[in-house]
């Protein structure tokens, strides 16, 4: 369905984003990211494409680009609490507590009380868990991540310079 819509109108951002979402759902994160980059070529300020690009890149080795995509998504749509929440979770996963604290200042302006309480609780629990495992090698730290992503790498370089 989305492929057909894309073939009829190759500039249909919604179709391109949905094709990327399908790739993401099938764990094809690199292909999903490429689709989202394709959507951003058509509409550079598409918040859904930016957020989905960040979420896809988060699943790859391109974590710096994931952070850039999250930052751009927040800049494009500063009141979108879904993007902000996912960005803050990403920062916690990356143990980037300093940047998390900076983003939290913005979150206090746009999130409601219950969202802030949830994010604050996650922050506290995450820091506590990190302190409990500091210096230990965890099983997921030993799993190598390998991707054949030359196409993705060139597309990311093109998008983020």
pLDDT band at 9 (very low <50, low <70, confident <90, very high): low
Q: What is the CA radius of gyration of the chain?
A: 17
Can you tell me the mean pLDDT for 46-51?
95
CA distance 46 to 87: 16
Can you tell me the mean pLDDT for 29-41?
93
CA dihedral of 140, 27, 36, 105, whole degrees rounded to 10: -40
The closest of 143, 141, 145, 144 to 60, measured between CA atoms, is: 145
Single pTM value for the model: 0.76
Do the beta carbons of residue 21 and residue 45 sit within 8 Å?
no
Each residue's pLDDT tens digit, 97-107: 999 999 999 99
pLDDT band at 138 (very low <50, low <70, confident <90, very high): low
CATH numbers and ranges of domains, the chain: 1-60 (1.25.40.10), 78-135 (no CATH)
């Amino acid at each position: 369905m989305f492929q057909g819509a894309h073939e009829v109108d190759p500039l249909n951002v919604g179709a391109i984003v949905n094709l990327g979402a399908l790739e993401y759902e099938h764990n094809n994160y690199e292909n999903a990211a490429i689709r989202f980059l394709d959507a951003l070529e058509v509409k550079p300020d598409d918040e859904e494409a930016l957020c989905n690009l960040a979420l896809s890149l988060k699943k790859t080795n391109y974590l710096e680009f994931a952070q850039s995509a999250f930052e751009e998504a927040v800049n494009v749509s500063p009141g979108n609490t879904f993007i902000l929440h996912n960005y803050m979770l990403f920062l916690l996963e990356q143990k980037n507590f300093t940047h998390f604290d900076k983003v939290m200042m913005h979150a206090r302006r746009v999130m409601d009380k219950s969202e802030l309480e949830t994010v604050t609780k996650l922050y506290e629990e995450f820091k506590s868990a990190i302190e409990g495992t500091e210096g230990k090698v965890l099983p997921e730290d030993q799993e190598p991540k390998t991707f054949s992503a030359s196409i993705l790498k060139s597309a990311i370089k093109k998008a983020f310079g």
